[in-house]
């Protein structure tokens, strides 16, 4: 059955040469999807749980990798953080800068992060890991922890027939974006089971983490950096 193993079929959004209004339409629709299907709530919970117990007297610095326009960080959360959005697509970077000047936008490759020390409090990835091969995910987990002071938050999709059927129906009924109609169901096939996540975290040497199932068909993974005071 196709859901037993992850798909590695490329999504339309993986074509970084697409920088026109197709990207903008997809981002607008993804903003709605994340708001109503648990993206914003999961990210907010992840930040709250990771930072619990730490006395931080300044805005929390967060690097959002593979960010899109970082709309998982709603207005209430953004009031308490300093957000850095990293994306490789130049069209997405231009769109994000235009939409919200308060976000610091970095146009770069998440697999070759231009940092080598803990320069951010938190590293965050929402609906990004499923775009990567397993070796890339393991490398990114290691690198993300190296440049974070407190830990790494992952917000991504559960791979299941029910999740696939649900997003297939929703996108076919309501989406005007060919990119979203194609990539939404494919993203689920590229998503993860709990066993997938546990294996990847183990390969990356992560020991202090939690995996939590969230609405709707999402995983929230919180990796706490060890030996953090």
Render pLDDT for 112-129 as a digit per residue (tens, 0 to 9). 988 989 999 999 999 999
- Measured distance CA(69)–CA(222) in Å, rounded: 22
Share of the chain above pLDDT 90, in %: 87
Q: What is the pLDDT of residue 75?
A: 76
In this prediction, residue 228 carries a pLDDT of 66
Q: How confident is the model at residue 74 (pLDDT cuts 50, 70, 90)?
A: confident
Supply the pLDDT for residue 63. Answer: 98
Residue 166 reports pLDDT greater than 60: yes
Strand ranges of the sheet holding 120-126, from the earlier edge strand across to the other edge: 104-107, 81-87, 60-65, 120-126, 148-157, 218-224, 209-214
Q: What is the pTM of this model?
A: 0.95
At residue 8, does pLDDT exceed 70?
Answer: yes
Q: Identify the band that residue 161 occupies on the pLDDT scale cut at 50, 70 and 90.
A: very high
pLDDT of 196 > 60? The answer is: yes
Q: At residue 229, does pLDDT exceed 70?
A: no
Q: Any idea which of 73-82, 86-95, 209-218 has the lowest mean pLDDT?
A: 73-82
Kindly report the number of other CB atoms within 10 A of residue 3's CB atom. Answer: 16
What's the number of CA atoms in the CB half-sphere (13 Å) around residue 55? 1
Q: What is the mean pLDDT of residues 25-43?
A: 95
Mean pLDDT, residues 22-33: 95
* Helix or strand holding residue 82 (H, E): strand 81-87
Q: CA-CA distances (angstroms) from residue 136 to 51, 119, 172, 222, 228?
A: 26, 21, 31, 19, 26
Question: What's the confidence (pLDDT) of residue 2?
Answer: 61
């Amino acid at each position: 059955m196709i859901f037993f193993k992850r798909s590695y079929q490329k999504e339309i959004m993986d074509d970084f040469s697409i920088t026109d209004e197709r990207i903008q339409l997809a981002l607008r629709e993804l903003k709605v999807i994340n708001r109503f299907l648990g993206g914003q709530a999961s990210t907010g919970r992840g930040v709250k749980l990771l930072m619990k117990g730490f006395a931080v007297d300044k805005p929390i610095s967060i690097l959002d990798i593979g960010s899109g326009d970082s709309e998982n960080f709603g207005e209430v959360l953004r009031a308490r953080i300093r957000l850095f959005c990293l994306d490789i697509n130049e069209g997405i970077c231009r769109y994000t800068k235009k939409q919200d000047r308060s976000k610091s936008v970095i146009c770069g490759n998440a697999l070759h992060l231009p940092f080598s020390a803990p320069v951010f409090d938190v590293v965050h990835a929402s609906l990004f890991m499923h775009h990567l091969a397993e070796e890339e995910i393991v490398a990114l987990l290691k690198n993300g922890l190296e440049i974070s002071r407190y830990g790494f938050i992952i917000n991504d999709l559960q791979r299941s027939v029910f999740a696939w059927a649900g997003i297939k129906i929703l996108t076919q009924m309501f989406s005007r974006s060919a990119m979203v109609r194609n990539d939404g169901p494919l993203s689920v096939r590229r998503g993860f089971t709990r066993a997938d996540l546990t294996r990847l975290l183990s390969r990356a040497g992560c020991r202090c983490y939690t995996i939590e199932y969230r609405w709707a068909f999402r995983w929230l993974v919180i990796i706490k950096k060890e030996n953090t005071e």
